[in-house]
Amino acid sequence: MEIKEYLNNLSNLSIFLAYNANVDTIKYLNDKDVQELIDLFDVNEIIKKIEEYPRIIKSPLDFVARLIHSMKTGKPAEVPLYDDEEINKWFNRFKYDEERMGGQVGIISNLLSILGLKKVIAYTPILSKKQAEMFVNKDNLLYPSVVDGNLILKKPIESYREDDPLKINRIFEYKKGVKFRLGDEEITTPQANRFIVASRPENLRIEIRDELREKLPKIGDMVDCAILSGYQAIKEEYKDGKTGDYYLKKAKEDIKLLKKNNKNLKVHLEFASIPNRAIRKKIADNLLPNVDCVGMDETELANVLNVIGYDKLSNEILKKSWVEDVVEGSKILLEEYDLEIVQVHTMYYIMYLCREDNPLTNEELKKTLEFATILASTKAALGNIGDVDDLKVGLEVPYNEYRDLLASIVAELSKKPENKDYRMLLVPSRLVKNPKSTVGLGDTISSGAFVGYVSFLKNKLNSA
């Protein structure tokens, strides 16, 4: 595809992002690292804990059990860390290999700034100096503040607050083929992936400060689209008596305020791993009906289906990841929440599911998916995208071996009578055999596809 022409299209686009940025400290695990962790505990205790499947990490044993489960299945996972000094001290003993920008807003805003969007307004409720320094220092990446009642947009490094805390996530990355023993069982990781231990500090609230909330209609009028994420950090209850329901109500109001003065504003919700079933269902039921698009991987799709009553289909997707089931699940979300588009990314493909009357042509939709795969393969190969010239690397990465099979499956599904009211567009991934990093690949592919989608919609609107 012609990358230069595509980037030129994006240069007229402005976007707002909220709510989560953090620092990722990354440990690249090898065989020895994993075995040493296992040997800290009785094997039977680990096996028992894996069966219990802890949804919050309160102890080192909880961590090892969930890590082993993730590595054995090769599935990405994110599990919240209990806010406790002792467990934090234990994690701080690791010798981490790398520190970089993390969180969906952090990763996506840096990427879109580098890709040359006209304006990238990135908001996170806490902005320490160290966090601000991790945003790229470009004129198009701005942080919104209110000064003397006026909305001010400045670079993050000019906007940080000295007293704001720092949110740190610990990322444990592993390659395909890592081997270790759990008792009598020898385990080999089936693919490269990552396990995230996500900090949930009590004073982090997924919200927009009240003085800035009043300015959301103005911000919405300044941009073409918005990507909202970070809802996985919402807790059921807080020590000050506030609840998850309180913050979800505010989040729903935020979307309405953003759209108040701009009816053409497109809002994308980027999903994430949410172990808490009650919060997962509330996010789906409260927020999905108010956005236009959703992006998720197949595990996140299955987990949403599970909490809205489609247990059998959810289990099929988790066990087999068949395209047919992913399409069926996407149709359910599209209809249940009246979405414009559902975007699902897996290791082997990225797919759109939309209605037949979507204003974009199949060719335009496919172009956005093609671009997204180039972004993802570039990031996987290099670990980071620092310049648009880096995309040449991703363009050279070949499509994965299932390219023809995937195309034939989608062609057959498109012919079925039950799918006549829908369009499904699928592009195979450009698979990097030994990725430098897997953190943020989903965010990269989702955001790349979404901004492309909005840029084509904007062109159509302007030429009408």
Annotated binding-site residues read: 270, 300, 443
Annotated binding site for Mg(2+): 270, 300, 443
Encoding tokens for residue 66?
């969930």
Q: Which of 24, 297, 325, 443 is catalytic?
A: 443
Q: Can 31 be counted among the known catalytic residues?
A: no
Instruction: Give backbone dihedrals phi and psi of 295, rounded to 5 degrees, phi first.
Output: -120, 135
CA distances from 286 to 50, 152, 261, 341 (A): 32, 30, 22, 17
Q: With 0-12 CB in 10 A as exposed, 13-18 as middle and 19+ as buried, what is 390?
A: middle
* Residue 290 tokens, joined: 């108010």
User: In one letter, which amino acid is 448?
Assistant: G
Separation in Å, CA 200 to CA 169, 258, 296, 299: 9, 27, 21, 22
Residues forming the active site: 443
